[in-house]
Amino acid sequence: MHSVTGAVRMILRLEGLAALAVSVAVYAYWGQHGWGFFALLFLVPDVSLLGYLRGPRVGAAVYNLAHTYVVPAVLGIAGVLWLGPFFAIALIWSAHIGLDRMLGYGLKLPTAFQTTHLGPIGRALTE
């Protein structure tokens, strides 16, 4: 398995921090929904972890679908065009992904939950 290391890994984690900060700032500025709504939906993408009940290949595919910026970007565009809660949901979703990336939780490889594009996660794998 090859994953990014060193300065590239740090840049990707800082990119996650930027996505988190921008998403939260725009959510706060936009002000259409309260922080209770934010808190309620913030961890919803992690429901995708249930995909691992079907094995690492299915789990990685489901997790990655819920943890890529593509889906919230499309939802955000829909929110701009049709309003409703879509834009707020997209901001919350991208904030979640940003936090995960900042913490080093990358997109999963189909071999195991601990193997990601940002390197292995977990104490036993990183020591």
Q: Which residue has the tokens 């049709």?
A: 82
Question: CA distances (Å), 42 to each of 19, 35, 38, in order?
Answer: 14, 10, 6
Model pLDDT for residues 36-91, shown as the tens digit of each residue = 999 999 999 999 999 999 999 999 999 999 999 999 999 999 999 987 799 999 99
Answering whether pTM is above 0.85, one says yes
Eight-state DSSP code of residue 66: H
The per-residue DSSP string of 68-106 comes to STHHHHHHHHHHHHH-TTHHHHHHHHHHHHHHHHHTT--
- State the pLDDT confidence band at 2, using cuts at 50, 70 and 90: low
Q: What is the DSSP string of 37-62?
A: HHHHHHTGGGGGGGGGGG-HHHHHHH
Higher local confidence (pLDDT), 123 or 28: 28
Residue 36 has what pLDDT? 96
- Determine what percent of the chain is predicted with pLDDT higher than 90: 72
Distances (CA, A) of 33 to 2, 39, 105, 106: 41, 11, 28, 29
Q: Which of 46, 47, 50 is nearest to 59 (CA)?
A: 50
pLDDT at 126: 45
Q: What is the rounded average pLDDT of the residues 94-117?
A: 91
Residue at token pair 């309260």: 34
* Mean pLDDT confidence for 14-39: 95
Tell whether the model's pLDDT for residue 125 goes beyond 60: no
